Structure 1
């Protein structure tokens, strides 16, 4: 085909030359011999053809040089290095970027074997790359480290292909050299960061979790699976499958969190794992939403085993509770000691003085009728003695200590009847067999509740029930007065008496209820097992 095209060009050139020669011959007379004339015409024709071919060659040369200049500019200004190697790896050509990259690897670049520019640790990779270039028509690539004279680290990626040289018929390698030092150092930094993170997570007992973009699948690393006691080899699970590992209320909470919009995605929840081999585990789940470049988002975060922390907090809470109860117990015991002291003072001093006055009046009374003024004084004295005895009994119930709980409650009912407050009582006789300290605490509780009825109920009747049951004793005090109404919580906050009752019930690990009925109804249940009460634990 090329010969045909060349023949066509020659024919066109001959036609054009004959046209030019014909115009010049018409201007000359035919004075020469016909053969000579024909020969001269042929020579002139060839001369014209040669001139025309020379003009075309010159034009082609100019165009070729122009294109070559453009390519040379692009070749040298390229952001990657271009290197041409001969069959044994010697550098034949290299562009400006290539010179910059290789400048600190060897003093002379042109004519140097490219393998000498490669770090010894990467030369095996480099030779495999050259071999792949020859074998693979689509070319090959490799990442190597350059052998820098100044000790600098420089990583490059090589892309290349191999073809036969048209002149020497030997292999020629065309290679691009790209500087990836920044990328490799960043990869190394990220790898070191990831390793430190992995060590930190392992030390802190944490694992990593991540959802798919649709948030229906959750991916777990090996440590996260270990935290959740998952033996499955796979690392991805449906959200519903994973949430089923937790107790029901936490399972619902976990599923709801994964369905929240992105603007609410700052997870920090605690979940309780269903027992495995009768051992429960508490897991902290923290994470947030991450936006991808395509607009999708996923959730990622860490799982942490907080079982030991929860146990520590529970122990600390129990210690705080014990300290608080101990303070309450100490306070109650101090109150009882002060009550006993006051009662003793009233009985041993004030009461004795009043008894002495009454004795003197009785002596005068026996000698004859008392004047009106002394009679009134005698009556007031009797009233003072009665009230003082009641006060002394309320402060320190000696009957409770001497005769037991039942007798003490009967005496309380009788004394209240004397002042016009009627109590219907059902006292279990087994209450006398309660521990002495518990009898005192129950008596004080009932005493305080009755005082509340007297002061606030607006009625003059109340009902007291004490029952000793299996494993517990129940106490109920109720009246049909005006009750607390809608201000129950406020009344409890203001009332120191009810707080005192609550403290005593806490010391016995009991339950204290205020039932919303007509009037006021208090119900208290106290355990009888000494191991279940703070009072006896101490």
Structure 2
């Protein structure tokens, strides 16, 4: 547009100059001559017509240029007013020379109020320094400048804006104009503030509750742990390579398989993760960690797992203590029950031995006296035989209830005496007892005696055995007991046998009080029962 106007001006100057010269030439000739010829007049008219045509053409070009300029101006005015951001033109003092409609709406004032007013009047005092620095940077830099400025409008309304602009200098050096765009970022800033506050509250909550966050991306097999997670797990961030394999490597070897299985299940469709595992810390200790998570689906059809993890070491310790306390209580109840049983057995045994047996002996002596006095022969033979049988069985019951030999002569003699009493022509018992067994605690000896007694009774009553073997051995503070027979064993499984009152429950209870283990298994020769426990001073009896 500027080039066309320049060329038109040059053409006009040329034409005017040429015409002036010709007219001057003609005038000079006219003054030297008295009159013009007809040819001279025709030539002059033709030249004038040519000049007229050239002027009309130049006028048309000027009209076209002005129309184009108006269209371009209207286009840029529309862009200026309809721009999605506020647009302002300020002079070198910061006075508003021009503002678009979006900028006027942002300031919420009338157009005539905005123009010729210092833009600083709309800025919050807290941002004055930032705004002046913004103008200064624009004045002395050719590149676009940016600043975060807070506006204070009518009614104490606060608007947070992001301003971008640059300074344009005219031919006069002091005449600087600032072209500034103003974008309202109040909503995004408030959202960022809410997000920041939420994040701070979450950080405080995670820190107070000793909870960390994690994410797992199945596609890349990557794992993210926040700083709280590293603190909770007791590991250094540089010791973790950020992969699923690296995470599993930090887990206790006994727990790696179940963690790996759950993670594989999550990758192949399981929506939730719920794990408890032990982690090996930097000081070669371990912690119990609980991790819970859920699958999060993204719009791009990708997904990842996110969740929290907590240190449950203390909870596990309390659970173990509670379980130990529960076991101790159960052991106290069992111990009290067995002690009460032994007391009742002692009472019954004493009653049988000191009362019933004595009465039976008295009856037998009286019958023998009657028999001698009346010279009776054979009439009381059967009665005496029955009385002998009753006395024998009563004494046997009394012994089984309270093995006095165990108290009087020790454990080894007690077991051997029991084997001798129980052996018959159809059932033989061999014993192999370490002599050091006599140094076991009194209660421990009684428990072992009762368990062996019950096992031998089972051999006689249920196993249909003809031979049994009892071994008691002490080795390196361990007590080993083995009772074997050549019978048919149990018809039902061991667990069921323990619930039918066969006496096995009593054996298990005593083994439980001794913190030991009992095993039942069949061999080629018959049934074998082994009992092992530590011979310590802290036996729960």
| CA distance in 2: counterparts of 1:106 and 1:480, whole angstroms | 114
**1:375 lines up with 2:375 in the alignment:** no
2:212·2:232 contact (CA, 8 Å) conserved in 1?
yes
Deviation at 1:165, TM superposition (A): 4.7
Q: Deviations over 1:294-314 (max 9, x none)?
A: 655555444433322222222
| CA distance in 1: counterparts of 2:107 and 2:241, whole angstroms | 47
Q: Deviations over 1:402-444 (max 9, x none)?
A: 3332333333223323595432222333333322211111111
Alignment partner of 1:307 out of 306, 313, 334: 313
State the secondary structure of the residue aligned to 1:89: coil
Deviation at 1:494, TM superposition (A): 3.7
**1:515 lines up with 2:516 in the alignment:** no
Q: Deviations over 1:434-485 (max 9, x none)?
A: 2221111111111111122222212233221222333133221111222236
Deviation at 1:501, TM superposition (A): 0.8
**1:146 lines up with 2:151 in the alignment:** yes
Name the residue aligned to 1:25. Answer: none
| CA distance in 1: counterparts of 2:112 and 2:352, whole angstroms | 115
Alignment partner of 2:531 out of 518, 524, 530: 524
- Which range is displaced more, 136-145 or 293-302? 293-302
| CA distance in 2: counterparts of 1:144 and 1:227, whole angstroms | 42
Name the residue aligned to 2:18. Answer: none
Name the residue aligned to 1:344. Answer: 350
State the secondary structure of the residue aligned to 2:489: coil
Deviation at 1:83, TM superposition (A): 1.7
Alignment partner of 1:334 out of 333, 340, 362: 340
Name the residue aligned to 1:2. Answer: 3
| CA distance in 1: counterparts of 2:376 and 2:116, whole angstroms | 148
Q: RMSD between aligned alpha carbons?
A: 3.8
Pair 117,430 (structure 1): closer, same or farther in 2 beyond 3 Å = same
1:210·1:218 contact (CA, 8 Å) conserved in 2?
yes
2:274·2:291 contact (CA, 8 Å) conserved in 1?
yes
**1:396 lines up with 2:386 in the alignment:** no
State the secondary structure of the residue aligned to 1:481: coil
Pair 388,59 (structure 1): closer, same or farther in 2 beyond 3 Å = same
| CA distance in 2: counterparts of 1:168 and 1:458, whole angstroms | 124
Which consecutive residues of structure 1, in runs of 5 or more, have no partner in the other structure?
15-31
Alignment partner of 1:158 out of 158, 163, 174: 163
Pair 138,295 (structure 1): closer, same or farther in 2 beyond 3 Å = farther
Q: How does 1:82-121 map to 2 (within 5 A)?
A: 82-103=87-108, 108-121=113-126
Which consecutive residues of structure 2, in runs of 5 or more, have no partner in the other structure?
16-36
State the secondary structure of the residue aligned to 1:197: helix
| CA distance in 2: counterparts of 1:54 and 1:372, whole angstroms | 172
Name the residue aligned to 2:201. Answer: 196
1:220·1:236 contact (CA, 8 Å) conserved in 2?
no
Name the residue aligned to 2:30. Answer: none
1:215·1:258 contact (CA, 8 Å) conserved in 2?
no
Name the residue aligned to 2:251. Answer: 246
Deviation at 1:97, TM superposition (A): 2.0
Q: Deviations over 1:273-330 (max 9, x none)?
A: 3365564333334444555666555554444333222222222221111111111111
**1:501 lines up with 2:507 in the alignment:** yes
Name the residue aligned to 1:386. Answer: 392
State the secondary structure of the residue aligned to 2:93: coil
| CA distance in 2: counterparts of 1:225 and 1:66, whole angstroms | 66
User: What TM-score do you get using the length of structure 2 for normalisation?
Assistant: 0.82
Name the residue aligned to 2:367. Answer: 361
Name the residue aligned to 1:80. Answer: 85
1:466·1:475 contact (CA, 8 Å) conserved in 2?
yes
- Which range is displaced more, 456-465 or 437-446? 456-465
| CA distance in 2: counterparts of 1:410 and 1:266, whole angstroms | 63
| CA distance in 2: counterparts of 1:7 and 1:154, whole angstroms | 52
Deviation at 1:121, TM superposition (A): 2.3
| CA distance in 1: counterparts of 2:126 and 2:255, whole angstroms | 55
State the secondary structure of the residue aligned to 1:281: strand
- Which range is displaced more, 280-289 or 57-66? 57-66
Name the residue aligned to 1:429. Answer: 435
Q: Deviations over 1:48-94 (max 9, x none)?
A: 66666666655665565555445444443433212222222222222
2:233·2:281 contact (CA, 8 Å) conserved in 1?
no
Pair 262,83 (structure 1): closer, same or farther in 2 beyond 3 Å = farther
**1:224 lines up with 2:229 in the alignment:** yes
Pair 430,108 (structure 1): closer, same or farther in 2 beyond 3 Å = same
Alignment partner of 2:478 out of 468, 472, 476: 472
